Amino acid sequence: MEQRVVEFLKDRESEMVEVLKGLVEIESPSHDKEAVDQVGAQVQKLYKKYVGGSIEVFPNKDFGDHFRCEFGDGDEQILILAHMDTVWPKGTLEELPFRIDGDKLYGPGSFDMKGGIVQGLFALHALKSLNVPMKTKVVMLFTSDEEIGSESSRDLIEAEAKKSKFVLVLESAAASTKGKLKTSRKGVGMFTIKVKGKAAHSGIEPEKGISAIEELAHQTLYLHGLTDFEKGTTLNIGLIKGGSASNVVAAEAEAELDLRVKNTAEFQRVIPLIEGLTPSMEGVTIEVTGGINRPVMEKTPEISKMFETAKELAKEYLGFDLEEQASGGGSDGSFASQFAPTLDGLGPVGDGAHASNEHLLISKMPVRSALVALLIEKLANE
Ligand SMILES: [Zn+2]
């Protein structure tokens, strides 16, 4: 069975490229509902053509509709996560068109993660076409807002993860030609810090002013000082604004803080420090809003076991050493992993997520697709 799955998919490499071209050429920035819905319609068409089974759509007012596809039967389910949105605004295709250069396939969203969608669909296509027996059903959940924090899909992802034995995430692999899986992800916190001081003319009566910018500068140094690289905890104020003119003592200033941690204990240690910021200057007020944006995906023994299973399959049937990596970024796998063992980064092999050199390796498409198919079969019949 395994060899047949591998052969089946290797024979479909050029078809996979063709299908991916179709998806890349429909641009789908997260904030553009109509655009993401267009990709959604195309994915549903592909699902019907290559897999078949029921599709349930979850209408979404502000962002693209999410939908859930069910394949096979069984009381238990394996969940596959994929997102259809990209970080690229409309019009990007004109500057960065879909193109192939040797083994590299370029295009906005190819690597993150339309290539993963195609590989996932073809994995199920192979299992179905070859009538591979499965004791567990497979649910593929396609969502529309991963790149902007999954606000509208989070409940759905968590509800499906709760019902699942295992979760596979078709996000791109860690950037390199090795295609390393992601077995842990840092937790992400996002905060806004607003400082209010008092305006005054900087020449005539500067002593009457209280500079919100000066206060924010103190707070920035303090917050950055909480960074502990050894623990994997980082704090970064990446955006700052404030003041009204150079000759006015700034009445207001605001900063955006990004917090990353390797474990939940660090969230518990650092968040109270952020929320409890105390002014260093008299007369200012500080308001902190925000919180955890993605929980930590910790590498549990169950995740290790899943990874070992994938590694064995890669070695035995695909002839390569599968490796793993910890990721500093969050994904929908971060949410799912709170409820079921989750393996992430099963999507394309390539580089340049969110960058102009975004690409995937064509020759790895059937290989990754086969890895997903074999993994599903193994986990479904465990
Ligand atoms: Zn992604």
Q: Are residues 122 and 29 both part of a single domain?
A: yes
Q: Are residues 32 and 134 both part of a single domain?
A: yes
Q: Are residues 207 and 333 both part of a single domain?
A: no
Q: How far is the CA of 45 from the centre of ligand 1 (A)?
A: 22
| Phi and psi, residue 49, nearest 5° | -70, -45
Q: Are residues 100 and 11 both part of a single domain?
A: yes
Mean pLDDT of 95-108: 97
Q: How far is the CA of 330 from the centre of ligand 1 (A)?
A: 9
Question: According to the model, what pLDDT value does residue 176 have?
Answer: 87
Q: Are residues 144 and 95 both part of a single domain?
A: yes
Question: Among residues 153, 136, 135, which one has the least CA distance to residue 144?
Answer: 153
Q: How far is the CA of 30 from the centre of ligand 1 (A)?
A: 11
pLDDT tens readout for residues 34-55: 999 999 999 999 999 999 989 9
pLDDT tens readout for residues 55-92: 999 999 999 999 999 999 999 999 999 999 999 999 99
Q: How far is the CA of 355 from the centre of ligand 1 (A)?
A: 12
Q: Are residues 212 and 319 both part of a single domain?
A: no
Q: How far is the CA of 86 from the centre of ligand 1 (A)?
A: 7
Q: How far is the CA of 145 from the centre of ligand 1 (A)?
A: 10
Q: Which domain holds residue 138?
A: 2-185+297-380
Per-residue confidence at 337, pLDDT binned at 50, 70, 90? very high
Q: Are residues 352 and 249 both part of a single domain?
A: no
Q: How far is the CA of 128 from the centre of ligand 1 (A)?
A: 26
> Distance from first CA to last CA of the chain, Å, rounded?
16
pLDDT tens readout for residues 240-290: 999 999 999 999 999 999 999 999 999 999 999 999 999 999 999 999 999
Q: Are residues 178 and 312 both part of a single domain?
A: yes
Beta bridge partner(s), residue 141:
68, 81
In a 10 Å sphere around its CB, with 0-12 CB exposed, 13-18 middle and 19+ buried, how is residue 28 labelled? buried
Q: Are strands 164-169 and 77-83 parallel, antiparallel or unpaired?
A: parallel
- Mean of the per-residue pLDDT values for the chain? 97
Q: Are residues 94 and 204 both part of a single domain?
A: no
Q: How far is the CA of 146 from the centre of ligand 1 (A)?
A: 7
Q: How far is the CA of 335 from the centre of ligand 1 (A)?
A: 14
Question: According to the model, what pLDDT value does residue 382 have?
Answer: 85
Q: How far is the CA of 374 from the centre of ligand 1 (A)?
A: 23
**Of 238, 267, 294, which closes a domain?**
294
pLDDT tens readout for residues 112-147: 999 999 999 999 999 999 999 999 999 999 999 999
Number of domains in the chain: 2
Residue 343 has pLDDT above 90, yes or no: yes
Q: How far is the CA of 113 from the centre of ligand 1 (A)?
A: 5
Q: How far is the CA of 347 from the centre of ligand 1 (A)?
A: 9
Q: Are residues 179 and 321 both part of a single domain?
A: yes
Q: Are residues 302 and 222 both part of a single domain?
A: no
